[in-house]
Structure 1
């Protein structure tokens, strides 16, 4: 198989996926207000839509991973992108919140992009090159995050539904590109079972967590996901409260950080991980991230903040190294299954953590300690580093 066209497609897919999601971020409040005719109701329905997406992603991701092992990566990935495009069209044309809820739930149930992309990378890249490939995937993710909100804001100024049409067009463009360009990395074996034990989210996650090596890596991923979502959930509020940044300044800080992180992941992560190895790079990167979170908790000047953001970017080697390590622990016949379970774990964090972190942050403001939430993120990250450091770097049988 020619790896370059496949990896290029995955990079384009992740970029378009994040660009499409980023486009609609600035517009969701205006759209929901238009649909519901009431700001308070709009906030309620926005929360319901987000939670529904996360719950359905948790419920169905293990099944999608299993399907990717049984029938191949390509059909699952193209189906996921197609249904995401349909969801954006529904947002553009939907007459009411219940219509949006149905289609958004469908998109969450078919949100298999990350699951299949991670499995696909493991299929087409040798172990020594996986960290570099996963770093490039992370870079595409970051670039989409930078460009999406900017484009969404510009299009939303023309018409509130136009960004959703643009997001749908990008999704369908990805489908067309994949249909003609993407080769199948693993045709499937038709032997992989679709039992209830391995396809339901609780059973699939339990199977992964019970395995000695893979389970420890999954728990480490869970702790990192909690820290990551904690940071994402309160970051803009923290910048506004602690440093009195304007909305424009918040956007600039986030965009510059995301762009710098994308460049670092694309250019530096691969060489660093090749020198350190997956395990050492994962542990060191996670410890660096923990230090950045702890420092942010007590940062009091913009200069300190920018320095800590730079430190946090260095810590991004952990994500690619951990993903590379995970892909090497399991065999090619279960990459999709394991990645689906891990996506399910991440979906739990994305559903539960924002509410919890928001409540803790609001409580901390009563005591003028807005950085307290980042100490919690640092603690979870340190726990992840401990788990990684005590996990043997070996492959285990299924």
Structure 2
């Protein structure tokens, strides 16, 4: 669990090192789609495995992933890189003013995170969007099972069906639709579209009036899964090639902080409105509040303008600066 969060952002940083900016959001989407597909396969396979066998298979897959990485993935660190000045993708940590002292001497990554947030307004807005959408996502996941069980008496099989629907919809969206739509609309608009439908998804869940509504609402996942790959791509374009790991780690750290804060707020709220002592009758109120958090992320995303790939930056094995 300690290293679980680092796997994703390091994978995205590795991809950012090896993929051009114009194709980055599509590749990020494909990676997210593969994750959704593996999520579906994992949930489906547990129906045929015993509890002990499930853990054994999961551990075996982790070992296979490690061996594959060591054998087939070359190191992506670039020895030399030059960014032209006066572009938003200039290496932010290099152009930031040098400090005579550091607030966290033994934690340079904390200083780097603060520097990234202060140097690029686009990156700071992306970080704010990441925080609120993570609060919303974790909030609905903390509340949804209790809400559906209390309202419609859902059991574990129905919960699994909903998870599989979301996974299939996410796979189709990220692996097929995103590579087609992103070049046409742009990742900033795709981010806003994904967040808008994410908000709609949560609001409809909170007002579900029949057992079939959650199944229909989950089909919106085809659209609302656009948000995170687009957000990651926008963030990656704001920094230099040697800072991709720090940027993705910063976004992941903010999301992890939201994962801590959100259950502390939404779990008691869910318990209150599902109990007889609720101030008013609205069992899905906590999910509606998750929708409000997604709405804040949507409003913030409207103010983001994704940077176009710079034409004046070149990265190769020799140091050269274009005039």
TM-score range, shorter chain: 0.7 to 0.9
2:157, 2:268 → 1: CA distance?
A: 25
Confirm or deny that 1:281 pairs with 2:281: no
Aligned-residue offset at 1:324: 1.5
Aligned-residue offset at 1:336: 0.6
Instruction: Answer yes or no: is the 8 Å Cα contact 1:198–1:204 preserved in 2.
Output: no
2:161, 2:136 → 1: CA distance?
A: 23
Q: Which residue of 1 aligns with 2:299?
A: 386
1:171, 1:127 → 2: CA distance?
A: 30
SS at match of 2:49: helix
Confirm or deny that 1:308 pairs with 2:217: yes
Structure 1: gaps spanning 5 or more residues: 1-52, 54-107
2:134, 2:167 → 1: CA distance?
A: 18
Confirm or deny that 1:136 pairs with 2:30: yes
User: Cα 1:136–1:110, aligned 2, differ >3 Å: closer, same or farther?
Assistant: closer
Q: Which residue of 2 aligns with 1:182?
A: 73
The CA deviation string for residues 56-111 of structure 1, in whole angstroms up to 9 with x for no partner, is xxxxxxxxxxxxxxxxxxxxxxxxxxxxxxxxxxxxxxxxxxxxxxxxxxxx0574
Which TM-score applies when normalising by structure 2?
Answer: 0.80
Aligned-residue offset at 1:352: 2.9
Which TM-score applies when normalising by structure 1?
Answer: 0.66
1:310, 1:198 → 2: CA distance?
A: 47
User: Cα 1:132–1:151, aligned 2, differ >3 Å: closer, same or farther?
Assistant: same
User: Cα 1:288–1:220, aligned 2, differ >3 Å: closer, same or farther?
Assistant: same
1:150, 1:267 → 2: CA distance?
A: 22
Structure with larger RCO (C-alpha < 8 A, sep 6+):
2
SS at match of 2:77: coil
1:205, 1:370 → 2: CA distance?
A: 39
Instruction: Answer yes or no: is the 8 Å Cα contact 1:205–1:345 preserved in 2.
Output: no
Q: Which residue of 1 aligns with 2:45?
A: 151
1:394, 1:266 → 2: CA distance?
A: 23
1:218, 1:346 → 2: CA distance?
A: 9
Q: Which residue of 1 aligns with 2:313?
A: none
Match of 1:375 among 280, 288, 310: 288
1:181, 1:132 → 2: CA distance?
A: 22
The CA deviation string for residues 142-163 of structure 1, in whole angstroms up to 9 with x for no partner, is 1222222443454334xx3x43
User: Cα 1:360–1:116, aligned 2, differ >3 Å: closer, same or farther?
Assistant: same
Instruction: Answer yes or no: is the 8 Å Cα contact 2:139–2:290 preserved in 1.
Output: yes
Q: Which residue of 1 aligns with 2:99?
A: none
Greater share of helix: 1
Match of 1:230 among 139, 143, 148: 139
Q: Which residue of 1 aligns with 2:114?
A: 206
The CA deviation string for residues 337-372 of structure 1, in whole angstroms up to 9 with x for no partner, is 111111111111222322432211111112342211
The CA deviation string for residues 261-297 of structure 1, in whole angstroms up to 9 with x for no partner, is 2122111111111110011111122112112211221
Instruction: Answer yes or no: is the 8 Å Cα contact 1:115–1:339 preserved in 2.
Output: yes
Aligned-residue offset at 1:334: 0.7
Confirm or deny that 1:218 pairs with 2:109: no
User: Cα 1:222–1:111, aligned 2, differ >3 Å: closer, same or farther?
Assistant: closer
Q: Which residue of 1 aligns with 2:151?
A: 242
SS at match of 1:301: coil
2:8, 2:74 → 1: CA distance?
A: 18
Higher alpha-carbon Rg: 2
SS at match of 2:237: helix
* RMSD over equivalenced CA pairs, Å: 2.7
User: Cα 1:331–1:380, aligned 2, differ >3 Å: closer, same or farther?
Assistant: same
User: Cα 1:206–1:236, aligned 2, differ >3 Å: closer, same or farther?
Assistant: same
